[in-house]
Structure 1
Amino acid sequence: MSRALRVLLLAVVAGFLVTISSAALADCGVQAEVGEVTETCDFSSGDIEGQKLDYPMAQWSVVQICKDGGRRPDGLCYNPDDCTTAAGVPGTRYTLFRDGENVGTACLAAGEVEKVDDPPPVRDLVIEAFQALDWKPSELTVQPKNGKTLVNLKTNFFTTNTDVSSIPVQLIRARVVVSARPIAYRWNFGDGSSITTSSPGAPYPSLDVSHAYDRTDEVVVSVDTQYGDASFTVNGGPPEAIPSTIWVDGATQDLAIVEALPQLVIR
């Protein structure tokens, strides 16, 4: 067995993350010599901030890593394991915990350590969560009813989903309510055509949103809804605008386009 392979096996058994290449990273950011075996860190301070957005309810903490068991009775290191951060600043290696679970190591400078357990800005969390919230789809009404309409005559479409929707979101150290309203509707007529309007349509006889089919067919129709004009409040405070919008697909329904047949009526 070669010397390099023995070193690699020993490192894996010891539980360390190792690399053997000309681009190996030493001390969480310093280039190592060719063939040198080094430990690397899993996270930078920027990575941790990104993780906070992914896990908005988590509690984060770090424990300093000590060389050769050099830890004082109070838990601090008198022989800390030094590293260089991604920004090229001297730092110290830490074990990173999410809700008490070890998720890896991080190289952090002194000013970055104090920020680990700070929650990310609520605004960042809300904007990140906006797309994932359960905005309700619009219910589509088609006239004539009963799933049938006539060829070459206008079929009327509308929805009653026009009001502001509010969704409560419990974030770490904050009670948030996110609100948005329908600002646009995309009408899918099932024959390859569609239109987008700011109008939700209206019941017959308005024909505000209508479509005439030029041949008999069986189609599937729906209306998608764009939510926007959004805002959020924190712990009952004043609303703050959210720049995001989101399209929500509507449920589909079948529609038969039929031809009116003349009937002889004897009077």
Structure 2
Amino acid sequence: MGEVVETCDYSSGGIEEEKIKYPTSKWSVRQICKDGKRNPEGICFNPEDCTTDAGNPGTRYTLFRDGENVGTACLSAGEEDLVDDPPPIRALVIEAFERLSWPASKLEVQPPGGKTLVNLESNFYTTNSAATSISVNLVESNVVVSARPIAYRWNFGDGTSEVTETPGAPYPSLDVSHVYDQTAKVAVSVDTQYGDASFTVNGGPPEAIPSTIWVTGAAQDLEVVEAVPQLVLR
């Protein structure tokens, strides 16, 4: 029978992904020895061999996160020294961008009062157009992430929607308007896409973030009614 090849739980790339998930954890590795014999520094006299995902010769290690054994890793020469390096702050910011609490836009509808008329141009807008900055702490650094609304998706509640780059405006503007062709009770909302994002670390220069994210807005009821003619006596 041939020699049994031991597989490993992690590659160097897999460890980097884990470091991003656990940015404040301490990582370390320890060689796995074929016979258990080590020198005083813990280096195996006869380490177990493996082949990395890239096809290079490697050594099997036990991987520790905050001192706890989380599996085995196959690392080539030089990759061991990178394990305890902190993950790049940029990677952490990009990964955290979608988890931040970007504000939803408040929808304004005209005519106000929750009612509009059939065949009337109903006006929609929001006042949320300025950039938002959120402070977070990553790997003991003060990071400020900023983004602004770059698009709005207007959901008119009748199966139609429209995407614009502008937030609309109050009457007499009809920048974002919609005509309902029949009476109905609908739920309208506006979703906001944040982008044009950047971050700073400890007050340093801003660096761009390529990510965008949609934030769903709260729905509100709108009743579409017919105008009722009234007789006016003179």
**Taking structure 1 as the reference length, what is the TM-score of the superposition?**
0.81
Report how far residue 109 of structure 1 moved.
2.0
* 1:239 matched residue in structure 2: 206
Q: 2:222 matched to 1:255?
A: yes
Counterpart Cα distance in 1 of 2:207 and 2:110:
40
Structure 1 residue 132: Cα displacement: 2.5
What 5-or-longer segments of structure 2 have no aligned partner? none
> C-alpha distance in 1, partners of 2:129/2:156?
20
User: Secondary structure of 2:116's partner?
Assistant: strand
Is 1:47–2:14 an aligned residue pair?
Answer: yes
Higher Rg: 1
User: What's the RMSD between the two structures over aligned residues?
Assistant: 1.9
Aligned residue type for 2:116 = T
* Deviation sequence 1:105-157 (CA, Å, 0-9, x none): 01112300000011222222222222222211111011112211111111111
Q: Decide whether the 8 Å contact of 2:8 with 2:60 is kept in 1.
A: yes
Q: Which of 157, 164, 173 is residue 197 of structure 1 equivalent to?
A: 164
Moved over 4 A (4+): none
Cα distance, 1:93 vs. partner? Answer: 1.4
What is the one-letter code of the residue matched to 1:181? R
The equivalent of 1:76 in structure 2 is 43
Report the secondary structure of 1:52's partner residue: helix
Q: Does 2:185 match 1:218?
A: yes
Question: 2:205 & 2:141 partners in 1: Cα distance?
Answer: 14
Once the two structures are TM-superposed, the CA of residue 236 in structure 1 deviates from its matched residue by 1.1
SS in 1 for 2:205: coil
Matched with 1:26 is none
Q: Once the 2 structures are TM-superposed, how far is the Cα of residue 173 of structure 1 from its aligned partner?
A: 4.0
Q: 1:143 aligns with which of 95, 103, 110?
A: 110
Specify the SS of the correspondent of 1:233.
strand
- The whole-number CA distance in structure 1 between the counterparts of 2:25 and 2:111 is 52
| Aligned residues between the structures | 234
Q: Structure 1 regions of 5+ residues with no counterpart?
A: 1-31
> More helix per residue: 1 or 2?
1
Structure 2 partner of 1:88: 55
State how 1:1-267 maps to structure 2 within 5 Å. 33=2, 37-267=4-234
Q: TM-score, normalised by structure 2?
A: 0.92
**Could you say what secondary structure the match of 2:82 adopts?**
coil
